[in-house]
Structure 1
Amino acid sequence: MTDAAIARTTARPPAGEPSAWDQLKVNRNWLGFWFMVPAMAFLVLFLVYPLGKGLWMSFTDARIGREGRFVGLENFEWLLDDRDFIHALVFTLVFTFVASAVKFAIGLYLALLLNNNLPFKAFIRSVVLIPFIVPTVLSAVAFWWIFDTQFSVITWGLVKLGFIDRSSPINWMGDPFLTQCVVIFANIWRGIPFIAITLLAGLQTVSPSLYEAATLDGATKWQNFRYVTYPLLTPIIAVVMTFSVLFTFTDFQLIWAMTRGGPVNATHLMATLSYQRGILGGNLGEGAAIAISMVPFLLAAIMFSWFGLQRRKWQQGESND
């Protein structure tokens, strides 16, 4: 008897229209919003707030121990006349462009190579990942030892081969240009696996029947890559290169662990210079201004990728070609 009453009560439709709160609880769009709230709160707490705080500090003369007063664009105007900042900006752009271009070229080559049927392919993939999984500081220490002026294994090898004299070793970490080349090489070595493995995952999604059809039509290997592989891989290339540019542009650990921005500030990136001026130097306003100066370049990289994907309409499975 009780079960029958409960069943009748459950089956009975609710009286009147559902409340707005009831609609919010069952509406699919609002349910998605509720599930996004924790992630949004996390982003606001750890990303939006620090960015807003840094933006405000860039307009003040704040130092460690005091809040500072509002000075407008004075910090940014002063940076335009700062030779160290201009040098750090130029080197950051060169560092990002050269490293990203080389990483993409080698990473794409490795991805195409590993996509073939090779012996011990699983082992080779594991070896390729090693530079990416090794801690950054450990990599920096290894490169510092490899290119150390006195104990460089490369210099030792060149001496043994008779290319240089033992009394005149190569000053890898003392010459500004050579040091810049060393840190770029180190960044390339660490970043290649990320691009190679990501592009390899994209290559795995390309249907072999497309290559078979193109081959039957007389396409060469280059034409297969140009008209089959590259167009289908373009969305993944855009995404992976955006991340690569962002990671390279904001690289801090590798540079700071290897050179601290030296010699004579030759290897300072904007990130390391911001840390040196803001934290070590105590001038929080100036350090925040340098950090905020990075934002337009990062947004430009993101928007370039986004507009490229929108133009090709890959999200809708269409192409303008």
Structure 2
Amino acid sequence: MTLKTADLDLAASVADEAPLAVRRRRPRFVARDTRAAWWFIAPAFLLLAFLVAYPFVLSVWFSLSDARVGTSGSFVGLDNFERLFSSSIFLQTLQNSFVFTAAALTAKIVFGMALALLLFRITRFKRLIRGAILLPFIVPTALSTLVWWWMFEPMYSVVNWTLKTLHVVERDIPWLPDPYLAMVVVVLVNVWRGLPFFAITLLAGLVAIPRELYEAAEADGAGPVRRFWHITLPLVTPVLGVVILFSAIFTLSDFNIVYVLTKGGPLNMTHLFATYSFTLGLQGGEIGLGAAVSLFLFPILLAVVFLQLRLMRRAAIYE
């Protein structure tokens, strides 16, 4: 017993001295955790400061000034925002942005969930099919949107040629020249591009659901619809909330799709915040007014993030 006790004491003393030896071998600049943490986060902090914080502060200054291209401008306060609220084009842009975001998000939620369920059921060639689904999300936005513009262009429209060949319509449909049809096309292209993000992310949530829950529900006599509403949807809701949050931000601030397809026209019916800000600030030369339009998007996105995170937290509490 005495030998065993001595061995245990020796082992304990070695274990106590080991951390001291490790600490002695560590470099001096990582001797304290706080100092090492600052060294590690310094590159990211500098990157955010120069690429995010500085442009944001500069845009705030521009929005409060009468700056134009080539001039620094002077402080004018909230005059730019007052001009925007008295502008019919800006009010139309505000309406367009909400209609565009609501329509695109609704379509992506419905079709994204359906596509995720379909991909979840596929067993043969599933890797190839899932990789092909990501193509719209991988292809550069400007390049893919140019193809869509060619498909809906009035003179060489492939869509109109197909519809006339199938005797669905008798004459060409003015997809892009018509104000309302142009919004439909813009929403369609945005849904096409954002659908893979919804489908693949929701598919990851579906794969994480334990199969025992479905087997138990099926043994109790629950059909596919009841299994979806009582098992799939509640367990996928946290993932769906995150996807909706990011998609709402990307959709509300979309620029490439709208600018390539319609440039905000016709009759300003497809202008969004980003395209209208570009038109005023860079093409029109009114930097201050363009910055005010882009900055107007910030509180809207902040409200969207706040409400979405609050709903997600409330859903997590109820679970």
Q: TM-score, normalised by structure 2?
A: 0.87
**Residue 255 in structure 1 maps to residue 258 in structure 2:** yes
Paired letter, 1:105: V
Aligned match of 1:59: 64
Cα deviation for residue 32 of structure 1 reads 3.8
Q: Which runs of 5+ in 2 are unaligned?
A: 1-16, 21-27
Cα distance in structure 1, aligned partners of 2:134 and 2:86: 43
Cα distance in structure 1, aligned partners of 2:315 and 2:98: 27
4+ runs of 1 displaced by more than 6 Å? none
Q: How many residues align?
A: 298
**Residue 236 in structure 1 maps to residue 250 in structure 2:** no
Cα distance in structure 2, aligned partners of 1:70 and 1:27: 47
Cα deviation for residue 185 of structure 1 reads 0.5
Cα distance in structure 1, aligned partners of 2:139 and 2:92: 30
From the two aligned structures, give the one with the greater helix fraction: 2
Aligned match of 1:195: 198
Cα distance in structure 1, aligned partners of 2:89 and 2:292: 14
Aligned match of 2:99: 94
Deviations 1:65-102 (A, max 9, x none): 11101111100001001111111110011000100110
Q: Which runs of 5+ in 1 are unaligned?
A: 1-9, 14-21, 314-318
Aligned match of 1:227: 230
Cα distance in structure 1, aligned partners of 2:34 and 2:118: 44
**Residue 114 in structure 1 maps to residue 112 in structure 2:** no
Aligned match of 2:143: 138
CA 229–34 in structure 1, closer or farther in 2 if over 3 Å, else same: farther
Larger displacement relative to structure 2 (97-106 or 112-121): 112-121
Larger displacement relative to structure 2 (89-98 or 296-305): 296-305
1:156-175 to 2 correspondences below 5 Å: 156-165=161-170, 168-175=171-178
How much identity, in percent, do the aligned residues show?
42
- Secondary structure, in 3 states, of the residue corresponding to 2:165? helix
Aligned match of 1:292: 295
Aligned match of 2:315: 312
Cα deviation for residue 213 of structure 1 reads 2.1
CA 43–170 in structure 1, closer or farther in 2 if over 3 Å, else same: same
Aligned match of 1:17: none
- Secondary structure, in 3 states, of the residue corresponding to 2:302? helix
Aligned match of 2:276: 273
Aligned match of 1:70: 75
Paired letter, 1:74: D
CA 164–211 in structure 1, closer or farther in 2 if over 3 Å, else same: closer
CA 270–105 in structure 1, closer or farther in 2 if over 3 Å, else same: same
Cα distance in structure 2, aligned partners of 1:48 and 1:216: 56
Cα deviation for residue 289 of structure 1 reads 0.3
Paired letter, 1:304: L
- Secondary structure, in 3 states, of the residue corresponding to 1:115? helix
